[in-house]
Structure 1
Amino acid sequence: WQHEEHQSAVAACFINGVYVLEHDRRERPTGMFALAPPWWESFGY
C-alpha cells in the first residue's frame, strides 16, 4: 500500500468486480455464463 499505483490498481479491480456483479444481478445468467463467480473466486472470495 506504499505506492499510489498499487492502490489505484486494487481499487480498479474491485470497481470492475462491482460492475460484473451488477451485470449478473440484472441478467441472471447461470452456470458457465455467470461472470461474477469466476471473478470473485480468483481473489479467494
Structure 2
Amino acid sequence: AVELGESLQKVQSYARHASANPTIRYFHDRQLLEKNPTDSLPMI
C-alpha cells in the first residue's frame, strides 16, 4: 500500500510537470516503453 501511494504521488506530480513540458513527457514515455514494452501507458 505504501509503494502504491508513493507511485501515485509521483504520477500526480509528474502529470503536472508534464503538462508544462510535453517534450520531457515524450522522452519519459519512450523510456517507459523501452523498460516495459508490453505495458500500456496510462492516459494522464
- Structure 1: 5+ residue stretches without partners: 1-6
- Runs of 4+ with >2 A deviation: 37-40
Q: CA RMSD in A?
A: 2.5
Identity rate of aligned residues, in percent? 9
Specify which structure has the bigger relative contact order, considering alpha-carbon pairs within 8 angstroms and separated by 6 or more residues: 1
Aligned length: 32
Match of 1:26 among 15, 20, 33: 20
The one-letter code sitting in structure 1 at the alignment partner of 2:25 is A
* CA distance, structure 1, for counterparts of residue 19 and residue 25 of structure 2: 10
The one-letter code sitting in structure 2 at the alignment partner of 1:25 is S
TM-score (norm 2): 0.50
TM-score (norm 1): 0.50
Is the radius of gyration larger for structure 1 or structure 2?
1
Aligned residue number for residue 8 of structure 1:
2
